[in-house]
Structure 1
């Protein structure tokens, strides 16, 4: 099969606001960010992630190549019980979150159509939460995810839940549109999957979908098997595979649907 595999990793700039009641100097801010990121890295290593699968890009720490990890989330990973329950993290969206709004004001054309399709992917499953597209208003929202366009190689990034809330941002490179609406919908749906706690379905061997790469690690963050889904992975077997093909439909597979309906 002729596969066009594209990594989800993109380097993203992050704006980090430091509010301490007084202005901090640039050097103080840099030291604060560096110290925070070092704790995140230390927590991830203690949780079981291989050091070579942890990277810092523009002040943001990533694991699994496309999942940003906050300080709070890294601390929660160390508190996880690791019990056995595709794969999910130990951090999930809380039962009190019924409406997750997605601010899609930055998306037009192909990206707008794809975002609507991604939202429908989740809402068609009858989960404990629903997704609602907004253009900035947070009325009636229990949590909000901001959808952003970025530069760079095709693909996207996001992060895992923390404190019972989904990660608050998904990033998709504008160059992803070269692959068409279905692939953009696939990438958006994939990144939303991370925000609600879904791991890569081939986390244990990225070469399955990417052609190269190893094990992303599990341990404290939880590469927890979801009951009723395969323990292995195949090319095209899950929308949550690490890398995508140019032929993606943008729709969940049967195991994706089972996974989400099992945990939500």
Structure 2
């Protein structure tokens, strides 16, 4: 949900031994383009590749997107959390916990998911979990996370410390949104980010992870119509909309 502005990798230089992050990122970029993402929606920031401005894509996840892809035909695959994951621990760092609004927002975000009776439950820290997500701070307002891979949720959710100056409800909204990405949800207005963000219409692409319309949900987005809209307002309540609940119950 934070704004990112970095150019795509223009070239790759193989230097030294081991894994070259530039070469790995170039493969991720190539896989995303093959999966159908517009090149101008793919950003590289701090050696991490993002789509939709706030969803980090790992090499493994990008490879899953193009499995079974041949020729110029494109197949959309949905990266979701597998049935072997039943409880996810959200583990905040000490720095995250030092921000009272962020910390309270995390508790409410966990409550959002657990009150729906999904096959996956969430808890704050502790033991007995089948998957873990580190919740940590980043600069600015908004946040970023990533998509699942290998049947596991993405392992990190970054939440901006600037949200300390917003209401607990807004913090709840942003954290719920970023957790949504970690379990496979795309932006509900991915086809036109201007719906929630304003400005020029930008299409994140209709292929790749989570771009399939979930049955029972509307095909068009509206302002305030979903926690998974690309951008948030200062008046957000942090609560699910009816279409959010339909989507979660369908997938999990």
Q: TM-score, normalised by structure 2?
A: 0.88
**Size of the alignment, in residue pairs?**
236
Higher deviation after alignment, 89-98 or 70-79: 89-98
| Selected match of 1:9 from 3, 12, 27 | 3
**RMSD of aligned C-alpha atoms?**
2.1
Contact 1:40 1:71 in 2 (8 A): yes
- Counterparts of 1:1-264 in structure 2, within 5 Å, are 7-9=1-3, 28=16, 32-79=20-67, 90-105=78-93, 106-108=96-98, 109-134=100-125, 137=126, 139-151=127-139, 153-212=140-199, 213-264=201-252
Offset from partner CA, 1:33-90 (integer Å, 9 cap, x none): 0000000000000000000000100000000100000000000000268889xxxx70
Higher deviation after alignment, 98-107 or 252-261: 98-107
Q: Equivalents in 2 of 1:30, 1:98: separation in Å? A: 35
SS of residue in 2 equivalent to 1:220: coil
Q: TM-score, normalised by structure 1?
A: 0.84
Kindly state the Cα deviation for residue 252 of structure 1 after the two structures are TM-superposed. 0.8
Q: Equivalents in 1 of 2:218, 2:152: separation in Å? A: 27
The residue number in structure 1 matching 2:12 is none
SS of residue in 1 equivalent to 2:60: helix
Q: Equivalents in 1 of 2:167, 2:116: separation in Å? A: 24
Q: Equivalents in 2 of 1:8, 1:234: separation in Å? A: 20
Give the direction of change, closer, same or farther, for the CA distance of 1:29–1:190 in structure 2 (3 Å limit).
farther
Q: Equivalents in 2 of 1:239, 1:251: separation in Å? A: 8
Runs (4+) of structure 1 moved beyond 4 Å? 80-84
User: Which protein, 1 or 2, shows the higher relative CO under an 8 Å CA cutoff with sep ≥ 6?
Assistant: 1
Q: Equivalents in 1 of 2:102, 2:227: separation in Å? A: 18
Give the direction of change, closer, same or farther, for the CA distance of 1:30–1:83 in structure 2 (3 Å limit).
closer
